[in-house]
A = this chain, B = another copy of it.
Amino acid sequence: MSNSIGKLFKLTTFGESHGAAIGGVIDGCPAGITLDFKAIQNELDRRKPGQSAIVTQRKEPDTVEFLSGIFDGQTTGTSIGFIIKNTNQKSQDYSDIKNTFRPSHADYTYTKKYGLRDFRGGGRSSARETANWIVAGAIAKQILKDIKINAFTNSVGAITLDKSYQELDLSQTESNAVRCPDSETATKMIDHIKAIKKQGDTIGGTITCVAKNVPLGFGEPIFDKLHARLGQAMLTINAVKGFEYGSGFEGTKLKGSEHNDAFNEDGSTKTNLSGGIQGGISNGMDVYFNVAFKPVATLLQKYDTIDADGNAVNVQGKGRHDPCVVPRAVPIVEALTAMVLMDFYLLDNSSKI
């Protein structure tokens, strides 16, 4: 418990990075949707390892196999089971972590909570799990077709975009390896990640996500406010430390007279510090938010830690890990956003009587 997300569009997942396969079950996908399988694979390719010089060099094709719920290319309304086979496990890589705990990693808490752990590749705590989310998110995106969800890298370490999303050409996000739509900043970010990587170190960053054309009415009082559900979803992504929407933490410094979004006569607002959500319910404006990612815990340096018996040890970090998770997390943020919006889409439908 709990490996499910969503209420009406529900994904339940399983898998460790070194089992035969990871996978999931999508329950609640409406019937009669003609799926674009190439688009699903394309989203998986955006997340997959080995896609550029600044991400982990593991090579995994990440091909999804659908086992049910689809007939003649169309969803049937029954549960969609799928698997993604693990093809690139190198079991010999784990001598450094089998009997020791990586600092700031799930190694220690999993072992203490469960009494044992599958140490290979991080086991269930591996970010490989997020490939499952991509599948469900890609399907949600196809159903929500008018809603356009675009995430991008907003900062890497201290290097931050100095433009708001409105000033950027979001179609440029995929034009560089770091997924920052401003090419000049992107270059700086890439160089920074390369330098960090050379040190065997890692670096954090932030992602901004924008959802356009979200219909008015998504989000439910009290405990399923749209931003609360988005926040929970984002906070499940590996390495995420924070979530803010609209004006976020900066907005706390403003006065109400500065912060309030004045109405136009059609109900739209002149500004959008609300981030498209008022009282937990979308208001028809762009929904946007930021997600904070810490530097990943796994270093390719020597580091001090303890072993399973509590002895201090010094370990040489090994393996193939991301120096910065942010570029590969961009499609993950989009996928979870799509899933959350899909859930509200169905819920909103339900009460139209």
Residue on B with the closest CB to A119?
A: B71
Any B CB within 8 A of the CB of A227: yes
Q: How far is the CB of A244 from chain B (nearest CB, A)?
A: 3
Which of B158, B199, B224, B253 is in CB contact (< 8 Å) with A204? B253
Stretch at the interface among A87-95, A162-170, A294-302: A294-302
- A228 and B223 contacting across the interface, CB-CB below 8 Å: no
- B263 and A305 contacting across the interface, CB-CB below 8 Å: yes
- B306 and A255 contacting across the interface, CB-CB below 8 Å: no
Q: How far is the CB of A307 from chain B (nearest CB, A)?
A: 10
What's the Cα separation between A141 and B275 when bound, in Å?
34
- A106 and B279 contacting across the interface, CB-CB below 8 Å: yes
- B203 and A255 contacting across the interface, CB-CB below 8 Å: yes
Residues of B within 8 A of A251 (CB): 204, 241, 292, 294-295
With an 8 Å Cβ cutoff, the count of chain A residues facing the other chain is 150
Residues of B within 8 A of A232 (CB): 223, 228-229, 231-232, 235
Q: How far is the CB of A318 from chain B (nearest CB, A)?
A: 15
- A257 and B28 contacting across the interface, CB-CB below 8 Å: no
Which of B117, B217, B231 is in CB contact (< 8 Å) with A76? B117
Residue on B with the closest CB to A132?
A: B222
- B236 and A20 contacting across the interface, CB-CB below 8 Å: no
Residues of B within 8 A of A203 (CB): 254-256
What's the Cα separation between A90 and B122 when bound, in Å?
41
- A25 and B27 contacting across the interface, CB-CB below 8 Å: no
Q: How far is the CB of A136 from chain B (nearest CB, A)?
A: 12
Residue on B with the closest CB to A296?
A: B256
Residue on B with the closest CB to A222?
A: B3
What's the Cα separation between A134 and B57 when bound, in Å?
41
Any B CB within 8 A of the CB of A293: yes
Which residues A194-249 have CB closer than 8 A to chain B?
196, 199, 201-206, 216-217, 219-225, 227-229, 231-233, 235-236, 241-249
- A79 and B12 contacting across the interface, CB-CB below 8 Å: yes
What's the Cα separation between A204 and B251 when bound, in Å?
7
- B12 and A25 contacting across the interface, CB-CB below 8 Å: yes
Any B CB within 8 A of the CB of A304: yes
Sorted nearest first, the 5 A-B pairs with minimum C-beta distance are A106-B279, A14-B81, A242-B244, A202-B256, A204-B252
